């Protein structure tokens, strides 16, 4: 297929009120599609130059929708049917001849009403969601989060029986550089010597200054402050950035490099949760919106992260105590459940390839996520993940020949060769693979 023959539309918004998260994960998937020669267009009401730049960097075209309309209220649970149909009509009016080969929608205010409206102009519809609070009429639903051990039933009754569900951190949609950086970064120092403060693209909860003040009270720790846009730079943060141990970064294309150099992150929830886990960096988290708290609470309860609460109740004293404990070496235990290839797995489900070259190579310790969460274990939870990590580590230590299966460039699972030279399937992803392989 040529680039002009395959076209995908992404519908997502971003801005100071709703953050950059929806668009960031969509662009992570888009990059994998454009690398396959697919033409990707993003339909959005976002207008900030930094956001438009991210779309261009991902190789996507931009379809600008009218901005500033009343139905853009980010606090509204779901737009009215009339508003959704109007939004869909604007998208449909821009459809190419024959429609799109696939359509990805990542938007909390759109549901099955919008998806049904656009169905005639796309061959395949994919919804990316976190909330499980509304119905979807789609072929594939992706939710990269984990809300607890009973999480797998969250979408019961909200999607059709035939909808393919890609659930859990195995499908975390991260910038493509995380997969490579994860393998290169060194061990995290404990106690931490370097800390990054990053509360998302816009610092909606105004938490950055609180965290920096708490950290500045301690000597021998370097502080990396990251803001997503100049609009988040307050006078107090500007003043704090003059501290000799503070470095300020604004509008970075991604956090990969900074994450590779720090031992602790203080920040928000959302996709950043999985970026930190991918890099093996522990975190102190303050959630800035209710729809992020469920994941963080569950991970806090499991000991995988440290949650302070929501931004409206967390105090300077809370930060001071949490920072003091962390810098004394009391850090959460990060599990290897994210390998940075989730966006590629989602892209494969968006447009499943008709043929796929499958290879195998000897597994290494860094390949643990390919065993821990594959084959239906992405939603199993920390207790099971720890058991599977121990099994993987024991097998490697005992000298068993473990092979990492690669579907193209994507790790899809681990197989073990027994003493009788028979292959025993241990952990394989098959949901998005072509029929010839499965």
Sheet containing 61-64, strands listed edge to edge, beginning at the edge strand earlier in sequence: 61-64, 39-44, 7-12, 102-106, 125-128, 140-143, 164-167
CA gap 369, 360 in Å, rounded:
16
219 annotated ligand binder = no
20 annotated ligand binder = yes
269 annotated ligand binder = no
| The pair of three-digit structure tokens given for residue 266, joined into one six-digit string | 């203080």
Which string of b and e fits 214-226 if b means at least 16 CB within 10 Å?
Answer: bbbebeebbbbbb
Residue 136 designated active-site? no
| The pair of three-digit structure tokens given for residue 165, joined into one six-digit string | 């569900």
Residues 6+ apart with CB under 8 A from 141: 126, 127, 128, 129, 155, 159, 163, 164, 165, 166
Q: Which of 22, 32, 107, 152 is an active site residue?
A: 22
Sheet containing 222-227, strands listed edge to edge, beginning at the edge strand earlier in sequence: 246-250, 222-227, 194-198, 264-267, 283-287, 306-310
CA distances from 93 to 65, 68, 81, 215 (A): 11, 20, 18, 52
Give catalytic residue positions: 22
Residues annotated within a binding site: 20-21, 275
**Residues in binding site for substrate:** 20-21, 275
């Amino acid at each position: 297929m040529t680039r002009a023959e395959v076209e995908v539309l992404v519908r997502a918004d971003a801005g100071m009120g709703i953050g950059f998260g929806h668009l960031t994960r969509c662009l992570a998937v888009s990059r994998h599609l454009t690398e396959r020669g697919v033409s990707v267009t993003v339909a959005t009401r976002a207008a900030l130059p930094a956001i438009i730049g991210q779309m261009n960097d991902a190789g996507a075209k931009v379809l600008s929708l009218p901005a500033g309309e009343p139905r853009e209220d980010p606090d509204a649970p779901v737009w009215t049917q009339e508003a959704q149909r109007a939004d869909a009509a604007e998208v449909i009016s821009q459809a190419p001849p024959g429609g799109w080969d696939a359509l990805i929608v990542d938007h909390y205010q759109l549901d099955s009403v919008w998806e049904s409206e656009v169905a005639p102009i796309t061959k395949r519809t994919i919804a990316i969601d976190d909330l499980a609070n509304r119905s979807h009429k789609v072929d594939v639903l992706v939710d990269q989060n984990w809300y607890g051990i009973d999480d797998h039933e969250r979408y019961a009754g909200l999607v059709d029986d035939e909808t393919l569900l890609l659930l859990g951190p195995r499908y975390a949609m991260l910038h493509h550089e995380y997969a490579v950086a994860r393998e290169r970064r060194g061990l995290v120092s404990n106690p931490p010597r370097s800390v990054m403060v990053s509360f998302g693209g816009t610092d909606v909860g105004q938490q950055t200054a609180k965290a920096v003040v708490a950290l500045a009270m301690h000597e021998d720790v370097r502080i990396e402050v990251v803001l997503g846009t100049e609009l988040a730079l307050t006078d107090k943060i500007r003043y704090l950035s003059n501290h000799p141990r503070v470095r300020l970064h604004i509008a970075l294309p991604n956090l990969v490099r900074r994450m590779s150099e720090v031992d602790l992150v203080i920040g928000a929830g959302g996709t950043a949760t999985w970026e930190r886990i991918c890099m093996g960096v522990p975190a102190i988290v303050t959630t800035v919106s209710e729809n992020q708290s469920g994941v963080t609470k569950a991970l806090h309860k499991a000991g995988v992260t440290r949650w302070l609460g929501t931004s409206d109740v967390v105090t300077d004293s809370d930060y001071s105590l949490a920072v003091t404990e962390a810098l004394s070496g009391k850090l959460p235990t990060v599990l290897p459940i994210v390998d940075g290839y989730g966006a590629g797995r989602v892209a494969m489900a968006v447009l499943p390839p008709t043929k796929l070259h499958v290879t195998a190579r000897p597994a290494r310790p860094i390949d643990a996520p390919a065993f821990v969460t594959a084959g239906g274990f992405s939603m199993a939870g920390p207790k099971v993940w720890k058991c599977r990590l121990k099994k993987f580590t024991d097998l490697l230590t005992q000298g068993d020949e473990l092979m990492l299966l690669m579907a193209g460039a994507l790790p899809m699972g681990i197989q073990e060769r027994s003493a009788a030279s028979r292959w025993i399937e241990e952990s394989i992803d098959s949901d998005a693979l072509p029929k010839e392989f499965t």
